[in-house]
Amino acid sequence: ELGLICWNQCGMSRNRADLEAAVSSIRSLRDAFWQDVRVLGDARSLNQNLEHAGRVADFMEFSELMVSDALQREESCGGHFREEHQTDENEAQRNDEDFCHVTAWEHCEGAPAKRHTEELAFESVHLSTRSYK
């Protein structure tokens, strides 16, 4: 279910409404997971059930962060097309003025992730818009 949410609402082509719905769906799915999860096994042996449950929890957290990052990025860039950010000819419309940076997210236990950015400097290769025409 998590994979379908990410693929259908945060895939190659995305829009604000779908991304907002995806965040909500992932949070609901995560809440249901924590409400229903049962990890069987004992403390005396390798517990693969515990390992698998931990991975699912990690995927939930990562997916919410990925969708939130896509939601705040108000442009079409690279292989990710924001439907609201396209030219009249349906080409990707970048926003280098606001998004010419790399983003890293800091995990904050019990609080929303903190966004850090570092501006990109281009010395040899200059920014340009890719065209598929």
pLDDT of res. 79: 81
Q: What is the pLDDT of residue 127?
A: 84
Contacts of 51 (CB under 8 A, 6+ apart): none
Query: For residues 28 and 76, what is the distance between their CA atoms, to the nearest angstrom?
Result: 28
Query: How do beta strands 13-14 and 114-119 pair?
Result: unpaired
- What lies within 8 Å, CB to CB, of 84 at 6+ separation is 15, 16, 74
pLDDT along the chain (133 residues), means of 10: 97 96 98 95 87 96 96 89 92 91 92 94 85 70
The CATH code for residues 2-119 is 1.20.58.100
DSSP letters along 88-120, please?
Answer: TTS-B---HHHH-EEEEEE--TTSPPEEEEEE-
User: Which pLDDT score is estimated for 27?
Assistant: 97
> What pLDDT is stored for residue 110 in this prediction?
86
CA atoms lying within 13 Å on the CB side of residue 111: 6
* Structure confidence at residue 43 (pLDDT): 79
Query: Residue 68 and residue 52: Cα distance in Å, rounded?
Result: 24
Residue 99 contacts residue 69 (beta carbons within 8 Å) = no
